[in-house]
């Protein structure tokens, strides 16, 4: 299965692949941007996703500023 297809499947039902939203952060198959996509798909089903999305967005912003 391609990475793109896997990401699409996970976004449809993240709980099928991950036990908790925090498990998304430990999945090395995906970058931070893809992890945010997965967590946004999970958002609304679990209150834990909001802070995790914020953490990843802060990390991406820090990386963007470091590259400048």
Q: Which pLDDT does position 52 carry in this prediction?
A: 84
Segments making up each domain of the chain, as ranges: 3-67
Q: Which pLDDT does position 43 carry in this prediction?
A: 74
Burial 27-40 (b: 16+ CB within 10 A, else e): eeebeeebbbbbbe
* pLDDT tens string 10-67: 999 999 999 999 999 999 999 999 999 998 888 766 667 788 888 888 888 888 765 5
Confirm if 24 and 18 have CB atoms less than 8 A apart.
yes
Contacts of 18 (CB under 8 A, 6+ apart): 10, 24, 27, 38, 42
Predicted confidence (pLDDT) at residue 1 exceeds the cutoff of 60: yes
Confirm if 27 and 50 have CB atoms less than 8 A apart.
no
User: Using DSSP, how many helices (H) and how many strands (E) does the chain show?
Assistant: 4, 0
């Amino acid at each position: 299965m391609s990475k793109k297809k896997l990401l699409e499947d996970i976004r449809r039902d993240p709980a099928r692949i991950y036990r908790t939203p925090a498990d998304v952060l430990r999945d090395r198959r995906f970058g931070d941007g893809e992890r945010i996509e997965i967590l946004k798909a999970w958002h609304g089903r679990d209150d834990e996703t909001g802070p995790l999305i914020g953490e990843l967005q802060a990390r991406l912003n820090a990386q963007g500023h470091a590259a400048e």
